Amino acid sequence: MDAVMDILRPANFGDYIVYTVFFLALISNGLIPEKSQNARWVMTGVLLCSVLIKMRIQNYLDIEAYFRDFALMMLALGQGILPYIAAALVRRPKRSQRM
């Protein structure tokens, strides 16, 4: 149990950002309407990126440091760009369905 808590404990300011993005993605994933299934999948991708970054995937891969850093950079870019794509995919309700 202590090993899990050591991994989950925030070590620097970047970990707080990852946690913030994770919880915001989790909340917004629950608020996305059912008709926008593609947006839900994109937000699930954001959750996956957050989990992989937090688990420090670069420490568990047995590849060169250049490729580990590149993989971490791609995950961080996905975590930053995918929420905007999901926002664009959410469909607005029709005018007759609004209150």
Q: CA 15 to CA 32: how far, in whole Å?
A: 26
Q: Angle at Cα 79 formed by Cα 81 and Cα 51, nearest 5°?
A: 165
* pTM, entire model: 0.76
- Please give the Cα distance from 11 to 82 (Å, whole number): 25
Instruction: Specify the pLDDT at position 52.
Output: 85
Kindly list the distances between the CA atom of residue 9 and the CA atoms of 2, 17, 74, 94, in Å, as whole numbers in the listed order.
Answer: 10, 13, 23, 44
- Is pLDDT of 61 > 70? no
Residue-range domain boundaries for the chain:
2-87
pLDDT, tens digit (0-9, with 9 covering 90-100), for 13-22 = 888 888 999 9
Segment 11-32 shows an average pLDDT of: 88
Is residue 43 pLDDT above 70, yes or no? yes
Query: What is the per-residue pLDDT for 40?
Result: 92
Residue 77 pLDDT: 92
